[in-house]
A and B are shown apart, each in its own frame.
Chain A
Amino acid sequence: MTSGKPSQIVIISFFLFLLASCNNGSDEIPFPQKELGYAQPVTVPLKFTAEKKIKWDTAKRGGIKPIVKRLDIDALPSVPYDSSGFKPFSKPPEEVKFDYNALPEKDLDLNKFPSQSLNLRMSVLSPATITNVGRMIPHPGKPLSIYDMAQFRGILGLLVGIVYMDKYGLLWIGGVGGLFRYDGENIQTIIEGNSGFAPISGITEDDLGNIWFVQAGGNVGVVNMKNGTIGYSNKIVGVSNNITKMAKDDKGNIWVYNAKDKAVDIIDPSTGTYKNIGIKLLADLSDAQAASSSQTGFQVIQANDRKIWISIFGGGVDIIDPLTGKIKFLKKTNGITSDSVAAITEDKRNDLIWLAVPSGLDAIDLKNGKLEYYNKWQWLDQARIIDLFCDDRGQVWAGTVTYGIEVVDAKNERTRRIRQQDGLAGNVIITLCEDNHQHMWVATNTGLNRIDQYANTTHPIGTTQIISLMEDEVGNLWIATQKGLLIVNPQRNIAHLLDKAHGLSDDFVQSFWQKNGNIVIATDGGYNIIDPVKKTLLQVGKNEGLVSDSVYTAFSDTYGNTWVTGPSNGIDLIDSAKNLILHTDANGGLSDDNIGDIKQDKEGRIWLATNKGGIDIFDPVAGTVKYLNDQPGLKDTCNRILMPDENGRMWIGTDKGIYVADTKQGTLVFIGARQGLSNAVVTSMLPYQGSVIVGTDNKANIITAASPGDTSKNWKVSVLNNSEDLLRINTNAWETDAVTKEGEFLWGDNGITLIKNIKPLVDSSATYITGVNVMTRPQNFINKESLSAKDTLWMTDSAYTKKTGFPKNTGYAIDSKFRWDSVNGPYNLPVDLKLPHNENYLQFHFAQAGLGRLDSVWYSYILEGIDKDWSLPTTSTSTENYLNLPPGSYTFKVKSKGTDGRWNKTASFSFTISPPWYKTWWSYILYVLLGLGILRLYIVYRSRKLQRENRVLEEKIKRRTEQLQKTIEDLKATQAQLIQSEKMASLGELTAGIAHEIQNPLNFVNNFAEVNKELLTEMNEEIEKGNFGEVKEIAKNINDNEEKINYHGKRADAIVKSMLQHSRRSNGQKEPTDINALCDEYLRLSYHGLRAKDKSFSAKFDTDFDESVGKINIVQQDIGRVILNLITNAFYAVNEKKKNAEEAYQPTVIVKTEKMNDQVKITVSDNGNGIPQKVMDKIFQPFFTTKPAGEGTGLGLSLSYDIVKAHAGEITVDTKEGQYTKFSILLPM
């Protein structure tokens, strides 16, 4: 495997790319710390200004002369006072013995009753419409916190038949408008009732989480939110237009009962069947009685002992024991007031069964074997109770058809009424339901109310504006109003009124202060001091020496002095011992003449809260003042309340928050809204069990301070439980609230709101993600496998079964290829949701299941995988629309912050946006494989192509080689021709010389032949003469001449031979050759050749032959040509030079041979122009010539070079431009 590695790397790098590009969303982003809770209080050093002397005005005034009156509080006019809102029983309930076991009994085995199918007709549930209902609006000035859910009305319709809380704590509301679900933020319309819709009057949740409902008349429905289906059955028939209800027993069976029906039906939700139990059995009637019975109707409960108690209007009560299969009958004859029992409920704490009878209530005390009659007294006899509900404190809430609600507190022997004038929407009660937030939901004929029953808030004095409140040392409550004051004795539930008419100096009461059992009352007519023991009323006003009658505060210090302030009075200081009255104001050292409060600290210093000048601290002993005003919140805001705590700290209430000055530690601690104060405007600060209850303009708070010296850590600031609805109407008031020793917080505003059980508010409301919009469309997720084989699904009038195939779900989600496993939670959030890559615009909705609140809920959310941080807190219940989310895994998280100001548990929802198929991991693998495949194909194709090309190339090469071969041969031929032609060219040059060379011997031959002819004639003449001496001489001449003839004949012959040899093609054979002769011959040939061509040519030539050279082995023609070439060139050179040279120039060519060891050197030298340096390296190149065009072939020297090389020799040149040229040939011997 050699090719494997590079492809593996490719695959791995693809996966790395995949990992890097994929959004994993795995990093959890922590919720911002600063949002987790409130900040700790801010601590700064406590800085006072330097002390300075107070200037007291003593000149004008002497002592005071108070007016003293008698005052007997008990003698004052009184009104009843009840902070609870309850009234005591007008008389105690009558009581008789009751023996449960003695009740008549019969067999009633429910198992033996035949089961009938409900024949539920299944339909697709349309996606719910969602309406945000916003915050609740309080009813001001009502004795209870009752909210009219007026904003629901448009959604729910006028009549609500039933309110039911499911296991998630969500409220299901049924009525004429249909079926709804409320989560505190939104109302979901599950079923929208049309005009003929029979109101839903009963709802219960089965063990599988399906919501069953029953409409008036008996039609039963079951909503499966997870599957998105609704089943309807009309098998159970009741009395139409009458309230039909449902109750679930411990086995999961649902009891359906109608207030006017003659039977009870028991639904088994697991099988979709029901059993019908008629009036005859239930009321133990004869057939005739049963047939004629008209006054019937039921209410069903399951008691602690798991027995089913059924009240029968007209048939008393019966008790079915499913364990024993027995039924007991309880009728008027057995002791109950009437057989017309309209409703029944159980006090599960006290084992009391409450029955609604026409004249009131009967209570069966099973534990103690008693039967109590709570009827025929007070107003209950006219009440006509229709519904009973016992809350977990044993209070029985009786809903009547005429008088609203009556709450019976049997334990405390009291009752209270809640009617339309108390804030209820109507006096006709239809149903009651308690949620898990301690609210009672009350449906009336004209609307829905929520009653915050556990707040116990009452308004005992109506809506009178409260100026100030105080509880004195003996537990009396002092209430300041603009029309006198009320002195409440809570033990006696009585309030005495003290006003100007009864001796008070003014009706407008500002505040209270108590000192040694005396009550100091500041009014707009000076201050009053009541001594309850001496029964005196002491009054001091302007006439008695004060600067002004308008007194805010009259404070008595430990020195026995009284400090009196007012709106712009400065300070009046009454020194009782010396009977002096002193005065000072802004001129005397005060920061502001308007002083809100005066208190004394443990060191005896007097603290004054000035309106705009900060805090002034007087030292009464030294007579000096210093100021605390370096904090912005102190200097320019309204400082109104001072409160020294048991640790020596002074609490300062302003309209910007609270400052706590600790003179020992030198610290000043600030607590504002950021630190958890519900509102910055402080209206009261009241010590309570080590903590301080702080009233503000919105809600009250509990502040538990850190120990002194614990630098601002561990301060606990909380909202007071049940104060979340408090919103002050009369702002710009202070010291309005009080805390009693009983542990009640009294909020004084318009009337008094009383909150029991002082404790911090803990808001446990859960946050829910309520929906997801995809591509701006709300999604309705349901379980995919929602219907079983036996189900038939109806859509309009078409029926579908598993066999015929269910219709494709109507949801957008299915169409858009969303994938999810199942749905979860009350809002059907899909589990493991996978969205296609192009369905990536998402918006999330959420809610805090608070079931109604005054405060806005704050939400913070994050979409992990895209968001870098949690969102800023918002009151919106939807996120922004997340656009174009890239493929990856996401988790949406949301937290909410309710009234307690603490962020609750995170709700989260995870989902995935799938990458498009071409970006999935398997596609990447496919790409790699495809890539590799293509690569492989390409390689195969390429190699084949290469092979083919290779073959073509080989073919071409072959052909080219052949061509080249041919070309080479042609070239060789051409070369040979060239060589030959060069040879011929040189021969041509020589022809003239050769001719001359031949001519000369021939001339001699001819001449000597002629001479010999003459001599022979002459010789004959001499012979004739007989002159033989002469003849001998002539004969000798003839003979000599013959030799001459012979010599010159041979000479010509040699020349011709030589010429022939030169022109002949070389045979390449080396033969011993006389170099000197060769040189001489060609020298001559060359000279004469040139002479023949150019008549003007003449040059001197010379030879310098070394005779020892002898013969060497050469190819004669070749070397001859070299020599000839060099000589010809030499002659050409000298001739060229001579043309332009001066007279004295003697053109000379010398051919020299010499033997050098084993070499022969042939040198041809001329005194011509020499060879220019620039062409030196070209002279041996073929076709290079300096001769004019047409005169030379340019091959001479080139061929010479080749020839010499072929002889293993060497050809060199030595030249000097304008001087000489010397060619040398070195040939080995």
Chain B
Amino acid sequence: MKILVVDDEKDVKVLFEQRFRKEMKNGEMEFAFAFSGEEALDYLKGYGHEAVLILSDINMPGMSGLELLSKIKEKHREPPPVVMMITAYGDSDNYNSAMKLGADDFLTKPLDFMSLKEKLKAIK
């Protein structure tokens, strides 16, 4: 399965690659990375069919994660990819608006990679 990670922090890529090193090695998971909402949309235009899961940070300069979420849910109806929102601010405002926009899950930073792995495996 292909997972698109959207975060403005570039080190997120390194972190994910190391965390899911085994899964990537054995080809269980494939990761793509975008460093802004706009970049993520560009990716989805090109490889929309590939991404099954999108992990997006909410707090990003430019297009925020929530905007990205609404656009994804708007433009990719059949079948919409699973979008999980990740944010440092796990308050109810953020949660509610994310859920309202159709987020499939709402994760707070710092990410618990163990539970994330299980959630990803469960989506498979």
Contacts and interface: CB of A to CB of B under 8 A. Distances in A.
Contacts of A1088: 59
B11 A1004 contact: yes
A137 B111 CA distance: 162
A1004 B15 contact: yes
Given A1003-B109, A1003-B110, A1087 B61 contact: yes
B78 interface: no
Classify the interface of chain A: helix, strand, loop or mixed: helix
A1034 B77 CA distance: 42
B67 interface: yes
A1098 B64 contact: yes
Nearest to A993: B59
Given A1003-B109, A1044-B11, A1095 B93 contact: yes
Nearest to B8: A1000
B15 A1011 contact: yes
A1037 B18 contact: yes
Nearest to B98: A1095
A1000 B62 CA distance: 18
B109 A999 contact: yes
Contacts of B89: 996, 1092, 1095
Nearest to A1094: B93
B67 A1098 contact: yes
Interface string A1070-1113: 00000000000000000110011001101111000000000000
Nearest to A1084: B61
A1048 interface: yes
A1003 B87 CA distance: 12
Interface string B84-124: 00001101011001000000000001110100000000000
Nearest to A1087: B61
A1098 B15 contact: no
A117 interface: no
Contacts of B67: 1098
Contacts of A1011: 15, 18-19
A1002 B9 CA distance: 12
A345 interface: no
Interface in B31-64: 58-64
Contacts of B63: 1098
A1041 interface: yes
A731 interface: no
Given A1000-B88, A1044-B11, A1100 B61 contact: yes
Contacts of B66: 1095-1096
A949 interface: no
B14 A1044 contact: yes
A1010 B61 CA distance: 28
Interface string B60-80: 111110110000000000000
Contacts of B61: 1087, 1098-1101
Contacts of A1006: 110
B15 A1000 contact: no
Contact of B59 (A1003, A1091, A1100): A1091
A996 B59 contact: yes
Classify the interface of chain B: helix, strand, loop or mixed: loop
Nearest to A1041: B18
A837 B48 CA distance: 130
Nearest to B15: A1007
A820 interface: no
Nearest to B19: A1011
A1011 B15 CA distance: 8
Contacts of B15: 1004, 1007-1008, 1011, 1044
A1088 B8 CA distance: 13
Contacts, number: 61
B62 A1100 contact: yes
A1056 interface: no
A1040 interface: yes
Nearest to A1097: B64
Contacts of B110: 1002-1003, 1006-1007
A715 B33 CA distance: 156
A297 B110 CA distance: 178
A1015 interface: yes
Given A1000-B9, A1000-B88, A1007-B111, A1040 B14 contact: yes
Contact of A1048 (B11, B18, B93, B111): B11
A1097 to B, nearest CB: 8
A1098 B110 CA distance: 22
A582 to B, nearest CB: 165
Nearest to A998: B88
B55 to A, nearest CB: 14
Interface in A978-1026: 996, 999-1000, 1002-1004, 1006-1008, 1010-1011, 1015
B107 to A, nearest CB: 12
Contact of A1010 (B58, B62, B64, B113): B113
Nearest to A1048: B11
A649 B117 CA distance: 175
Contacts of A1040: 14
Nearest to A1047: B11
Interface string B1-44: 00000000101001100110000000000000000000000000
Contacts of A1101: 61
Contacts of A1037: 18
A1104 to B, nearest CB: 15
Contacts of A1044: 11, 14-15
Contacts of A1007: 15, 19, 110-111, 113
A179 to B, nearest CB: 142
A1013 B71 CA distance: 38
A1098 B37 CA distance: 11
Question: Which of B62, B63, B97, B113 has the most A CB atoms < 10 Å from its CB?
Answer: B62
Contacts of A996: 59, 88-89
A109 B119 CA distance: 189
A808 B3 CA distance: 148
A1011 B20 CA distance: 10
Interface string A638-672: 00000000000000000000000000000000000
Contact of B88 (A999, A1008, A1098, A1100): A999
Given A1015-B18, A1044-B14, A1098 B62 contact: yes
Contacts of A1004: 9, 11, 15
B9 to A, nearest CB: 6
A1015 B18 CA distance: 9
Nearest to A1091: B59
B18 to A, nearest CB: 5
B83 to A, nearest CB: 17
Contacts of A1048: 11
Contacts of A1010: 113
Nearest to B67: A1098
A594 B70 CA distance: 157
Question: Which of A1003, A1091, A1098, A1100 has the most B CB atoms < 10 Å from its CB?
Answer: A1098
A1044 B15 CA distance: 10
A1008 B16 CA distance: 10
A172 to B, nearest CB: 144
Nearest to B88: A999
29 contacts: A996-B59, A996-B88, A999-B88, A1000-B109, A1003-B109, A1003-B110, A1003-B111, A1004-B9, A1004-B15, A1007-B19, A1007-B110, A1011-B15, A1011-B18, A1011-B19, A1015-B18, A1037-B18, A1041-B18, A1048-B11, A1088-B59, A1091-B64, A1092-B89, A1095-B58, A1095-B94, A1096-B66, A1096-B97, A1098-B60, A1098-B61, A1098-B64, A1100-B62
Interface of A: 996, 999-1000, 1002-1004, 1006-1008, 1010-1011, 1015, 1037, 1040-1041, 1044, 1048, 1087-1088, 1091-1092, 1095-1096, 1098-1101
Given A1011-B18, A1099-B61, 4 more contacts: A1003-B88, A1007-B110, A1044-B11, A1095-B89
Across the A-B interface, give the 6 residue pairs with the lowest CB-CB distance, nearest first. A1098-B64, A1003-B110, A1011-B18, A1100-B62, A999-B88, A1007-B15
